[in-house]
Chain A
Amino acid sequence: MKIPAPRGRVSATLIDLLQNRGGTGHANAYGSLNLLVDEALAATADLLRDEDLQLALFCLYELHYSGLDGVEDAAEWDPELIRVRARLEAALEDVLRRTVPVPELPSPESEAVAKTLFDLAANDDGPSVSRFVASKASVEQLREFLILRSVYQLKEADPHSWAIPRLPVGRAKAALIEIQADEYGGGRVERMHSKLFGTTMEGLGLDSSYGYYIDQVPALTLASSNAMSLFGLNRRLRGAISGHLAAFEMTSSIPNAFYARGFRRHGFSDDVTYYFDEHVEADAVHEQIAARDLAGGLAEAEPDLLADVIFGAATVLAIDALLGEDQLKAWQAGESALLAPLPNCDGTADAALATSAAAGGATA
């Protein structure tokens, strides 16, 4: 993806270093980056909402996904960069372990784990972005909603795929593969969930290239993505990434029905809402497999991972609650939920929207 704009001294130093690897003064640059990270970690009041540090970690993780434009692929395994990443992710894990409320652990048996996870999701009383989208959101707010979600949804399923080689042969691995195959379209590009999300974005006149809106997205959204990469990229956290996927699936089918309603309310066509419609059906299947066979199956196979399975699931709900709180607060105050409102909101995007709505036979 494109190189994001820096948001502070850490991200500025990191981005500069990434673009000039191997240049003169290289060793010194790593030294000052490490010092800056230590200072920033000591000084931050709220790591989850720290723009500079979350962006820095996001960039470091991005080296493991589609990479950053103009940065050598080899930077992915640069030991100095791995060292910086490890510092940042240790701090992120520490915050999550300290702040995410975790329910009492069930016995490490599939059905007991599934019940705990379903109860956890059912008792979630976080602010409901989906209900706001269904009944109140303006087209501009729908665009903001898509931009915020695009950070994950344009690489949907990728962070959880890191778990595939890390799970033991057996029920949990089979379940993960079954879910992921469906996420990636079951062999059909046009049904890949990340691809479908891009179609929805384009239907609202947005650019669907990965990372296009990264500079508009606040730290907390980056933190949500970073938590997934943290769990996915560390083998010792395979319990957490499995629980994370389970909770993701379990909090999806009903909200997606609300999202679809919000887009239909504005007259968007079935092509635009298809992403959400698809998730209503797909995730009603996935949540059963993820709760019982993935999360429950892993807890049975490796009982030592039970606590992390539940922690990973609880992390989804905790971060979603914070995200929902920030989004609704901004929207209810008539403000943008992005770092800055979209620049061309009443220009070309609306023109694209009109074209798209007309093509879909809508009467918005």
Chain B
Amino acid sequence: MSVPAAGPAEHDDAMPEPGDVQADADTPAWEKREGSAPASIVACPNGPLLIRGDFEIVTPDGIPVPRDRETVALCRCGGSAIKPYCDGTHKLMKFDTTRRRPVPEPARRAAEEAAG
């Protein structure tokens, strides 16, 4: 677990050393620390972003956001009272992830051409 279970009271010295991350990238998979599976994000239909693996959530100043569990659900409907985490409010809001902003015609054509 790369994120210490600490509140904002702990400062920069609680942060992982930058070197840790560098070393990790060059280390063969079999030598990596236990629990260092790369982060993966599940975009739950009509719901939150579910994140597992090796990641940290920090404030813009780099201070870890308190985190109590390995796998977290991040709010993406905007309605949660416990942001950045999900509190299930998307269900009351009828949050719908299938609705997309319409893409303007020229942009769509350009994207289609780029995709071949």
Contacts and interface: CB of A to CB of B under 8 A. Distances in A.
A254 B88 contact: yes
Interface in B21-52: 42, 44-48, 50
Interface in B77-103: 81-82, 85-89, 91-92
Contacts of A257: 81, 87-88
Contacts of B70: 178, 181-182, 186
A291 to B, nearest CB: 9
Contacts, number: 61
A278 B89 CA distance: 15
A51 interface: no
A46 to B, nearest CB: 32
Interface residues of B, number: 22
A182 B73 CA distance: 13
A285 B52 CA distance: 11
Contact of B71 (A114, A115, A178, A283): A178
Contacts of A122: 91
B68 interface: yes
Contacts of A178: 70-71
A283 B68 CA distance: 13
Contact of A285 (B45, B46, B69, B81): B69
Report which residue of A253, A257, A281, A283 has the largest number of chain B beta carbons within 10 angstroms of its beta carbon: A281
Interface string A122-155: 1000000000000000000000000000000000
A164 interface: no
Contacts of B46: 118
B81 A284 contact: no
B82 A285 contact: no
A350 interface: no
B3 interface: no
Contacts of B69: 182, 186, 281-282, 285
Contact of A254 (B45, B47, B72, B92): B92
Interface string A282-308: 111101110010000000000000000
Nearest to B72: A285
A191 interface: yes
A284 B44 contact: no
A280 interface: yes
A278 B66 CA distance: 13
The 8 closest A-B CB pairs, nearest first, are A253-B88, A284-B86, A285-B73, A284-B88, A288-B44, A280-B87, A254-B88, A284-B73
10 contacts: A178-B71, A253-B88, A254-B87, A254-B89, A254-B91, A257-B87, A281-B86, A284-B86, A285-B73, A292-B44
